[in-house]
Amino acid sequence: MLKFYSASTRVVNTQRAILECLEIAINNEYDRANLLIYNSAIGHDFNEILRYTKSLIPHATVIVGSGCGIVGREGVSETMKDMGLMVVEGKDFVVSSVNNITGNNAKEKSVELAKGLLTDGRSPSLVYFLASGIDIDTNGCIAGLEECLGDSTTIFGATTSDNMKGVISFQGIDDRLMTHGAIAVGFCDPELKVITQASHGFRAYGVPMVVTSASGNVIKELNGRPAWTEYTSKLNLTVDVTCGETIPVGALAERLPDDLAKEYGNSHILRVVTKHEGDSMFYATAVEEGTELWLTVRDEELIFSDMDRMMASLSAKLTQHEIKAVFHADCLARGKFLFNKVMKEELVNKMQQPLHRNGTCPPWLGMYGFGEFARLGGRNTFHNYSTAIYVLYK
């Protein structure tokens, strides 16, 4: 039976941050830790996170992913030195990792990753997935994982990011730090279940742009014109802006089928552009030519009401269950780039409050990354610009 403990901190020194998290999470009882999952802001030394943790707890598996900020039981923070930790006690899990996963090999690498989860004969029913958020085909990742694990295996997690610069992100396991890696943790505890839900609160508007030329997750042309130029002009920006500057305003939306729209609470699912090379834009997932992409606007009222709707739905499903832990992936665009501190904290409170038990927030590890995985219409789906909540329960 797996047990979960979490902590988060804003201590600047990497080693002291680790020590503080371990003290808060497991009261320095290192023997209890079998798996440690760190989400950390880009300012920390990731090699040191892995090395130092292993020096303290050599018997545990250590995983780290970078992001733009952290959400924990202690609250939300988006600085260069945030660190969140989920400690897992118990041995009902398997871990696998691959390196050099990109947009054009995502599926193959994900198959390899999934096979790694099956090597000891156990079959995980839910998979926590961390992968590089820069240049990746997330639909390919899902396809690869489902090919080996089955589409009934719930995939939840996030794509890692930096501080919205789109320069670099980190994924690490034990003694290996990667910048284009993917890590999967398969939970094999038969009593453990997960429920996932996501919401975004953006509204698509206007006439959509049409993908007229694409290769995998790279869009080369929109509306018959160079993609980046078309995209930025639609946003009323110049071509020399960075991806980071387009992210807050440039969420692209794809229409959802009605049934999924109903479940989602929104007619569109959003996608982010994390990188561009010349006029080619790196999309969040593989895209087919002819796909319509709408521009969007933030609707703060919708964001909050959608959050309420999502949490109400989750709560209703969990009333009879014991919540063991909550993983949380939030799009970095929804952090300080979208909301001021007060609003952001209010939003996080709206996520956490409904899941309290006996006045206490369950163990919580959340990250502001480039994208989120959550089920939609019963299918593992990649989301952007959303808040995705993954509640592990018994």
Partner 1 sequence: MGTKNEYLELLQTVARVNTIQQQLINTRDALDKELETYKRLSKLFTKIPSLKTRTSILKFVAEGIIDILEVEGAVVCLSNTDDSHYEFQFEGNVSEPQVSEMTTSLKQICKPDNFAKAQIFDSFQLGEVPHMGSVNQGIVFRIMETKYNYDLILWGFTSKQNPQLYKTLNNRDLMVFDILAQNTIIILNWLFDQQTLAFQLEKIKKSKRELNRLSLIATKTKSGVSITDKSGYITWVNKAFEDTTGYHLAEIVGKKPGQFLQGPLTDVETTRKIAECIRAGKGIITSITNYTKNGEILYILLEIIPTFDESEELDGFIALQQDITEQQEQMFAINEAKTSLLLSNDELKKTNSELDLIVYRISHDLRAPLVSIKGIVDLITSNAAPESNQEFLEMINISVNRLDDTIQGILDFSRNARLQVETEEVEVRTLINEIIDQIRYIHTHEISVYVELKNVDIIQTDRERFRTLMINLITNAFKYCRKNVESYIKIGITGLEKKLLIEVEDNGEGIAEKHLEKIFEMFYRATTSDMGSGLGLYICKEIATKMNGTISVESEKNVGTKFLVELPFARNQKTTSN
**Alpha-carbon distances, residue 325 vs 43, 86, 175 (angstroms):** 26, 9, 26
Which of 56, 118, 143, 167: binder of partner 1 (CB under 8 A)? 167
Contact between 341 and partner 1 per CB under 8 A: yes
Q: Is 168 in the site for partner 1 (CB under 8 A)?
A: yes
157 — alpha (psi -120 to 50), left (phi > 0) or beta? left
Using CB under 8 A, count the residues that bind partner 1. Answer: 33
Amino acid 90 reads: G
Q: Tell me which H or E stretch contains 60.
A: none
327 - beta bridge partners?
Answer: 365, 390
Return the number of the residue (220 or 234) whose C-beta is nearest partner 1: 234
Query: Does the footprint of partner 1 cover residue 277 (CB under 8 A)?
Result: no
Instruction: Assess 295 for contact with partner 1 (CB under 8 A).
Output: yes
Minimum gap (Å) between residue 26 Cβ and partner 1? 24
Stretch that binds partner 1, among 25-33, 75-83, 108-116, 130-138 (CB under 8 A): 75-83
DSSP 155-209: EEEEEE--SSS-S---EEETTEEESSEEEEEEE--TT-EEEEEEE--EEEEEEEE
- Interaction between residue 79 and partner 1 (CB under 8 A): yes
Q: Show the DSSP H helices in the chain as ranges.
A: 14-26, 46-56, 106-117, 138-149, 227-234, 243-246, 258-264, 300-318, 341-352
The CB-of-363 to partner 1 minimum distance in angstroms stands at 26
Contact flag: residue 237 with partner 1 (CB under 8 A): yes
Q: Is 10 in the site for partner 1 (CB under 8 A)?
A: yes
Nearest distance from C-beta of residue 335 to partner 1, angstroms: 10
Least Å distance, CB 167 to partner 1, is: 5
Token pair belonging to 350? 């709206």
Which C-beta is closer to partner 1: that of 139 or that of 163?
163
Decide if residue 3 touches partner 1 (CB under 8 A).
Answer: no
Q: What is the four-CA torsion angle of 273, 278, 279, 283, rounded to 10 degrees?
A: -20
Q: Looking at beta carbons only, is 181 or 335 nearer to partner 1? A: 335
Q: What length does the chain have?
A: 394
By CB under 8 A, tell whether 12 contacts partner 1.
Answer: yes
Stretch that binds partner 1, among 55-63, 89-97, 125-133, 228-236 (CB under 8 A): 228-236
Pairing type for strands 154-160 and 126-132 reads parallel
User: Based on CB atoms, which residue is closest to partner 1, 136 or 295?
Assistant: 295
Of residues 1, 53, 56, 59, the one with CA closest to residue 34: 59
Selected range binding partner 1 among 24-32, 125-133, 205-213, 273-281, rule: CB under 8 A: 205-213
Q: Under the criterion CB under 8 A, does residue 338 sit at the interface with partner 1?
A: yes
Please answer whether residues 101 and 133 qualify as being in contact, where contact means their C-beta atoms are separated by less than 8 angstroms: no
Which residue number, 138 or 246, has a Cβ lying nearer to partner 1? 246
The reply to whether 13 sits near partner 1 by the rule CB under 8 A is yes
Binding mask 241-270 for partner 1 (x = CB under 8 A): -------xx---------------------
Question: Which of 115, 122, 165, 220 forms a contact with partner 1 (CB under 8 A)?
Answer: 165
Asked whether position 340 contacts partner 1 by CB under 8 A, the answer is yes
In terms of CB distance, is 79 or 315 closer to partner 1? 79
In angstroms, the first-to-last Cα distance of the chain is 10
Any contact of residue 225 with partner 1 (CB under 8 A)?
A: no
C-alpha to C-alpha distance for 123 and 215, rounded to whole angstroms: 34
- Is residue 306 classed exposed, middle or buried when 0-12, 13-18 and 19+ CB atoms within 10 A define those classes? buried
Window 26 to 55, contacts with partner 1 (CB under 8 A): 42-43, 45, 48
Q: Calculate the CA 80 to chain-centre distance.
A: 18
Q: Among 53, 328, 21, which residue's Cα sits nearest to residue 172? A: 53
Q: Is 337 in the site for partner 1 (CB under 8 A)?
A: yes
Q: Is 239 in the site for partner 1 (CB under 8 A)?
A: no
CB atoms within 10 A of CB 240: 7
Closest CA to 291 of 354, 185, 209, 232: 209
- Could you tell me the two tokens for 206? 């206007």
* Binding residues vs partner 1 (CB under 8 A): 10-13, 42-43, 45, 48, 79-81, 162-163, 165, 167-168, 205-207, 234-237, 248-249, 295, 297-298, 336-338, 340-341
